[in-house]
Amino acid sequence: MKILHLVHRSWPYHGGAERYVLEHAIAGNRWGHESVICTTDAWDMSLFVSRSGTRILKRDDLIDGVRIKRFPVFHPPFQNLFRAVLRRLSECGPDRYYYPNPFIPSLHRWLSAERGFDLVHANAMPFMLYEGWRYSRDHGKGLVSVPHANVGEKYRRVKALRYFSGCQKKILRNSTFVVAQSRFEKELYSGMGIPEERVHISGSGIDPAEFAGSSRERGLERLGVTGPVILCLTAHSLDRGTANIIQACRILLKKERDFTLVLAGPVLPDVEEYINSEKKLAEEFGDRLVLTGYVSREERIDLLSAADIVLLPSRLDCFGIVVLEAWISGKPVIGCWSGAMPDIISDGNNGFLVSWGDTTSLMNRIEILLDNEELGRAMGSRGRKDVLERWTWEKVTDRFYRRLSQCCPESSSL
């Protein structure tokens, strides 16, 4: 089969959905398929809403036998007004044109023609799921939809959710099958009328071999610190719990606890505004707060090795690959009762779970781990065992292609 993989960004940017799609495309080769990834030229998400965002200049790449084809993000004049009109008048407008969904007219034109694909694997954002559905519908091809729906906690969904306000429900109902990252996400789709047997719970994975060359000493040297390290490695936003982490650590500093808080990854505008508004933050933390900015894959493994505790109290991550990366590095994690984290973290066993925004509980769990290194090592060890048994990319992608072979028997070549 020739498979078209659609995603909003791809290699060399390293992110959850981006890595998920790349690994599935590479695994397709192992299963005897030809894979092409179509994506945007965006390096960072800000390009989707602003001309000032960074672009990847190279239009085509070949990575491990997978062709990556990039299409430029376009910013029309009077964009806000244009979006408002399209949301009201265009097919699938309410979800296809809300921010940060970008305009990619060249991709739309390219997919208007038959390109020889047998299956579309559409991922992550409404504009990409729409383009995959349109190609599938117009050319009679199979469609696998992977919304990566970030909808908050099971009983506290994100209120400003516009993801399913247009055609998304119809697209999912007309897909060959739908991929969910958690049981919670599967329940969401079942509530939309998608038969349970057409929802595949996947999850994400990691490649343990990438972490074989990690160095705690090198990571500490990169950070310029020596003491205990509390690490949060993500794109920092309020919905990802960054402000709650800072508040919890401020309480611990007042209790004279010794640690360095490392916020690794890009800082998004809402957190930047929060940090700038907290006038006493610099005085309270001194050199015990480190912001790294974007972290490469090579730097990532050393930072995880340098960490003593890894935090992801986020309601915006539908899975949370960093949890697996922390575990393969032998580190304890504190996650959130959101997305797939309740499926993979057994509270009190291989990590802790806290409710989003619960600063007191987050502070308490951090303090428990600071006081009990043996407990942290045991949690990290149990988590590592879970990763090796279930959450490697080979195991995750093989589950996907076995499911595909059940739905499309002609796709099986192993």
What pLDDT, on the 0 to 100 scale, is given for residue 46?
87
pLDDT of residue 161: 56
Q: How confident is the model at residue 234, as a pLDDT?
A: 94
Residue 305, pLDDT score: 96
pLDDT at 33: 96
Q: What is the pTM of this model?
A: 0.88
Fold of 208-390: Rossmann fold (3.40.50)
Whole-number pLDDT of residue 157: 65
Cα–Cα distance, 327 to 333 (Å, whole number): 8
CB 229 within 8 A of CB 210: no
Q: What's domain 2-205+392-411's architecture?
A: 3-Layer(aba) Sandwich (3.40)
What pLDDT score was predicted for residue 159? 56
Under a CB-based contact definition with an 8 Å cutoff, are residues 2 and 109 in contact?
no
Residues of the chain with CATH 3.40.50.2000: 2-205+392-411, 208-390
How high is the mean pLDDT in each 10-residue block of the chain (414 residues)? 97 89 96 97 90 93 96 95 93 89 97 97 95 96 90 64 81 95 89 92 93 93 92 94 97 96 93 93 93 90 97 91 96 94 95 96 98 97 96 96 81 51
Give the CA diameter of the chain: 65
- pLDDT score, position 371: 96
Q: What is residue 414's predicted lDDT score, i.e. its pLDDT?
A: 46
Give the strands of the sheet with 260-264, arranged side by side.
289-293, 260-264, 229-233, 309-311, 333-336, 352-354
